[in-house]
Amino acid sequence: MRRVTLTQFLIEQQRAGRMTADLRLLLEVVARAAKAISVNVSKGALAGLLGEAGTDNVQGEAQKKLDVIANEILLQANEWGGHLAAMASEEVETVHQIPFDYPTGGFLLLFDPLDGSSNIDVNISVGMIFSVLRMPPSEQRATEESFMQPGREQVAAGYALFGPSTMFVLTIGHGVHAFTLDREMGSFIYTQPFMTIPEETREFAINASNARFWEKPVQRYIDELQQGKAGPRGVDFNMRWVASMVADVHRVLTRGGIFMYPMDEKCRHQGGKLRLMYEANPMAMLVEQAGGAASTGRERILDVQPHKLHQRVPVILGSRAEVERVNDYYREA
Ligand code: P6P
């Protein structure tokens, strides 16, 4: 089979009129930054990059050195290209403006530069998540308000998964496509066209230690899964929880399943655990493009109207039949 690189794939998408040259440049630059992050992540202890950076991010979380490095790689890689109006990062409290001596463009880039970073020190897969919005044409200079667009407005979304292999998975609204890094060539090779989530599943992902804090519909749903054959579902289910959203969602995209970080009493005061703009929204676009569904339990994630850059939401995503069952339990509650 002919090896198709990410560059060739993107050029073909542009020739087919599915993207502009600026969006192609943006995705190429993000993918190149993902390779640089992969090099740093894979050095691990050899580079003395593990452990705390001694600083806290806007979430008040202790920043790992690699969080800081990944954030800087993405900011510096994307500043000069002339394709962006501004950027937003989980690691930065406010909008990151393009330096005045660089040209600006029509896209807004949002990212979580290293998600699941608590797993780094124990050598478990971590990832980078990104989302692309259009800069509102009526605005001259990007502000936080420019980013306050529901996820259905995204023009592209994706992630890099730093696991046994490094993968780059993206959608521009025409299916989900996966690429695997060939480290010898330094190219992302097209390995999974049109990823599709199976309708039915036998696998669920949730942090079960929070069970006593979940809302009743989630407690009802998980209880039925755990009853297995003897319960109302009539089949046994399996559970996985990597505690790295990119790894868990990639498994769902690859072999089906449902991923849940629902509202619970511990995170209710924050509106949820996971962030809307650069975790839930990009993953929701990918999952819907792969035939699945993504909900807060009460509404479609891509319809949530954002009010703050770092706001959080409950996340229930994956095999459509399972997400719709959870939605039904919320409606019946
Ligand atoms: P918990 C990682 O910190 C993260 O944001 C997601 O990647 C992951 O799904 C979740 O939090 C894990 O949360 O409570 O299980 O540690």
CATH no. for 203-332: 3.40.190.80
The residue whose C-alpha atom lies closest to atom 2 belonging to ligand 1 is: 116
Atom of ligand 1 nearest to the CA of 259: 9
pLDDT at 131 over 90: yes
Q: Which CATH number fits domain 6-192: 3.30.470.20, 3.30.540.10, 3.20.20.70, 3.40.50.1220?
A: 3.30.540.10
pLDDT at 59: 75
Measured distance CA(32)–CA(168) in Å, rounded: 10
C-alpha of residue 273 to centroid of ligand 1, in Å: 8
pLDDT by residue (tens digit) across 42-61? 988 787 767 777 777 777 77
Atom 4 of ligand 1, residue of closest alpha carbon: 116
Helix (H) / strand (E) element for 56: namely strand 52-56
Looking up tokens 């949730």, which residue turns up? 206
Would you say 80 and 204 are in contact if contact means Cβ atoms under 8 Å apart? Answer: no
Alpha carbon dihedral 6, 9, 10, 15, in 10-degree steps, equals: 160
Q: What is the pLDDT of residues 279-297, one digit of tens each?
A: 999 999 999 999 999 999 9
Range(s) of the chain covered by CATH 3.40.190.80: 203-332
Say whether 158 sits in a helix, a strand or coil: strand
State how far the Cα of 108 lies from the Cα of 17, in Å rounded to an integer: 20
Q: pLDDT value at position 49?
A: 66
Ligand 1 atom closest to the CA of 261, numbered from 1:
9
DSSP tag of 310 = T
Within the chain, all domains assigned CATH 3.30.540.10 are found at 6-192
309 annotated as a binding-site residue: no
As a whole number, mean pLDDT of residues 78-89 equals 96
pLDDT band at 63 (very low <50, low <70, confident <90, very high): low
Residues flanking ligand 1, CB < 6 Å: 115-116, 118, 207, 243-245, 248, 261, 274
Which residue lies with its CA nearest to atom 13 of ligand 1?
A: 243
Per-residue pLDDT for 262 more than 90? Answer: yes
Residue with CA closest to ligand 1 atom 1:
243
What was the pLDDT predicted at 47?
76
DSSP-derived pairing of the beta strands 96-97 and 126-134: unpaired
Tracing tokens 């259009």 back to the chain, one arrives at 134
What is the spatial distance between Cα 7 and Cα 249, in angstroms, rounded to a whole number?
24
Residue 88: CA count within 13 A, CB half-sphere: 27
Average pLDDT over residues 299-309: 98
- Which numbered atom of ligand 1 lies nearest the CA of 210? 14
Q: Is 295 marked as a binding-site residue?
A: no
Instruction: Give the atom of ligand 1 at the shortest distance from the alpha carbon of 118.
Output: 3
Q: Which residues, 6 or more positions from 224, have their beta carbon under 8 angstroms from its beta carbon? A: 231, 232, 233
Q: What is the pLDDT of residue 65?
A: 86
Instruction: Answer yes or no: is 131 a known binding residue.
Output: no
Count CB atoms within 10 A of the CB of residue 227: 14
